[in-house]
Amino acid sequence: MNDFTDLFYTLFSIVIFSFLLLQANSLILRNESAVLEHEFEKMGIAQAQSIIEEAKAKPFDSNNTVDEFSINPWNGTPRRQIPTFDGYDGYEETVQTDHGSYDIIVTVTFVTDENSSPPFEFSGVNTASKRMTVQVTGPTEMDPRTVTLSYIKSYFQN
């Protein structure tokens, strides 16, 4: 018998199976890239949180003036040797991890007090509160993402 229906059924099933396999593969790739992206973000947050935890245990600069920020004597000092909270202003570092390199930039600025309206906004004058902002840019091998964490520290004299 010269009937090609079995051949057409076989070819049709191969095409359907190939299409389903392609869809499953693309779904797996999307999930894998989402997992990697979250892993990179988690590592960036960990780097920023590490700097904030280290800095918040340190005292304010004894001068506590706006002018001190323009000339930071601790720039270029290894991170763990910076003696004051203010000394982190302008700190930059590139951290190598298993996931790639992360670029870290820290700024410290005076902010308005809690009772101001709006609270904790940039202040060009000497106040009792300072905001540390840590920006961590993820590995440049992938699509770089930036994580930004802030911490506000207030200075109280007895």
pLDDT tens digits, 50-81: 999 998 888 877 555 544 444 555 566 778 88
pTM of the model: 0.69
Q: Which residues contact 133 (CB under 8 A, 6 or more apart)?
A: 106, 107, 108, 109, 148, 149, 150
Three-class DSSP category at 133: strand
Apex CA 152: angle with CA 143 and CA 57, to 5°? 100
pLDDT interval class at 158 (50, 70, 90): very low
Query: Which residue matches tokens 């202040």?
Result: 123
Contact 119, 106 (CB under 8 A): no
